[in-house]
Amino acid sequence: MSDWPAQSELHSTYTPSDSTNGPPFPPQLDTTSWLHDGFLHDPGFLASQEELRCMLFTIAQSRTASPEVQLDEDERSRARENALLRPVLLNARRVGYLKNYVGEVAPWLDMFDSQCTFRIQIPALARTFPALLNAVLAISARQIERKEGNQDSFESIELYQEAIRLLSPLLQVRDPKVVAACVLLCCLEMMSARAQDWRRHLEGCAALFDAFGIHGFSDGLLRAVFWCYARMDLCGALISDGTQSTLLRPSKWLAPGCHEEDASQLFQAAQSPDMHANHAVYLCAKACELVSDRTQFTELGAKNGCTSEPFYRRWIQLWDDLQQWADKRPDDLLPLYTTATKPFPHIFFLHWAAISSNQLYHTACILLLSSMPKSVKLQRTPIISTLWHARRICGISQANFHHGCLNNAIQPLWIAGRLFTHVSEHAIIIDIIRKIEAKTGWGACWRIRDLELAWGYRVPQ
């Protein structure tokens, strides 16, 4: 069943008032959850974070080995001798972290991966790779701390620091398990990072992937790890509100030798719902890149060649690619049903990857329509309405409760939410965002302040 409505929906009978009818915007808002989180200000965490970042940059700049190099047998033997699985099994709390990782955290990371690499392969590899095991336990411990609102005691910092200590002598061997551990630690940092710090947390992994030539079509474990990173990189670009592209430019997401104009064929050749979903991530990153290039050209005078004619051509091509993505969605990425509820239609999907990929499609369309060149003439259909796409972003989050997809909905909900004018719509969006943080532990409520600033009033608690 398609989620495309009849032409008449563009002129829906639901017409929210232009008036918010809300309380006046206060001079100061309550601080959001991450400001109360002592984890971000812990000297041990800050020092270890900077240590990891410097290590990643140093190794990336050396470029002395292949990312596919594996630990030799002597190193494997030492890893087995030092394996942490037995101590973990003797520590009930850490057993709980391991179970929580498998049940709660790994599904975030495997959202676009039917093979469940993070849930199945990573824990198996961690049995004989202590650095990876500590990274697994650290991110799980941090998720529990965030979900339970623990603001004073952070066992996750100890595990985080231990993972970095164990990684330090191994970074030069460029083993895929090392890369996986680095991405897990990056994800831990992002879970409660302030918006202005997101790119700093991502920079080390971006440099590592660039130097090692890891991309979206790498084999096995590295492919899964790359797309986990790519979704975080995209969130960082969306946070910038049109001023920055992804740290790792979308052209670096493709296999070596693949031209960007051939990207759609490359994704389609994979014949996989997972890769079709990853294609939506790529296209949304391309939209961020285009808007950013145009913004920097027009407002900052950047000499990036994004003049009117190239911008027009790139816009048209990307718009066509997005509509082709929607038209060619495999059955797994189509909704099971769509209900015409108000103010937001409920659009329910069975496949995890379908949830977020469809939201990202709508997000990319909003970005493009909001920056459309005046000379572009599109056929009058619902898809040229930013509100049509915005309602679907909100409706998808209302109808689908997969935790990984809730996390990835935070930025699309912000982009969509700014377009609405009625307090009833605002209340629903705020409720969704609060539930995301409560259910997953992932920092989300800081976006409420941004929406309130956009709406011009404070939403009641």
In order, the DSSP letters of 219-240 are -HHHHHHHHHHHHHHHHHHHHT
Backbone angles phi, psi at 73, to 5 degrees: -65, -35
DSSP H/E element including 451? helix 446-455
Q: Looking at the predicted structure, is the pLDDT value of residue 3 above 70? A: no
Which pLDDT belongs to residue 55? 84
Q: Between these two residues, 36 and 18, which has the higher pLDDT value?
A: 36
Average pLDDT in the chain: 85
- pLDDT score recorded for residue 88: 67
The token duo for 67 is 């990312």
> In this predicted structure, which of 8-12, 211-215, 271-275, 314-318 has the lowest mean pLDDT?
8-12
Selected residue with higher pLDDT from 43 and 153: 43
Overall average pLDDT of the 430-445 stretch = 90
Supply angle C-alpha 438, 227, 234, rounded to 5: 65
pLDDT for res 192: 73
Token pair, residue 131, equals: 């650095």
pLDDT surpassing 60 at residue 459: yes
Place 461 in a pLDDT band, splitting at 50, 70 and 90: confident
pLDDT, tens digit, 9 for 90 and up, residues 159-210:
999 999 999 888 777 789 999 999 999 999 888 777 777 788 899 899 989 9
pLDDT at 441: 85
Nearest to 254 by CA among 292, 220, 294, 209: 209
Average pLDDT over residues 261-281: 94
Per-domain residue ranges of the chain: 1-30+240-461, 39-214
pLDDT, tens digit, for every residue of 76-87?
Answer: 555 554 555 666
| Structure confidence by residue, pLDDT tens digits, 54-107 | 888 887 777 554 445 455 545 555 555 455 566 666 788 889 999 999 999 999
pLDDT for 89 equals 65
Average pLDDT of span 223-229: 96
On the question of pLDDT at 23 being above 60, the answer is no
Token duo for residue 410: 């935070």
Q: How far apart are CA 70 and CA 75, in angstroms?
A: 10
pLDDT of residue 211: 87
8 A C-beta contact, residue 342 and residue 263: no
User: Which contacts (CB < 8 Å, 24+ apart) does range 58-66 have?
Assistant: 59/171, 59/172, 59/174, 59/208, 59/211, 60/204, 60/207, 60/208, 60/210, 60/211, 60/212, 61/207, 61/211, 62/172, 63/211, 64/172, 65/172, 65/173, 65/174, 66/174, 66/212
Percent helix / strand / coil, the chain, rounded to 5: 65, 0, 30
Which one-letter DSSP state was computed for residue 25?
P
30 has pLDDT over 60: no
**Quick one: three-class SS letters along 310-365?**
HHHHHHHHHHHHHHHHHHCCCHHHCCCEEECCCCCCEEECCCHHHHHHHHHHHHHH
pLDDT digits (tens, 9 = 90+) for 336-381: 999 999 999 999 999 989 999 999 999 999 999 999 999 999 989 9
* Interatomic CA distance for residues 301 and 70, integer angstroms: 46
pLDDT reading at 312 higher than 80: yes
* pLDDT score recorded for residue 431: 95
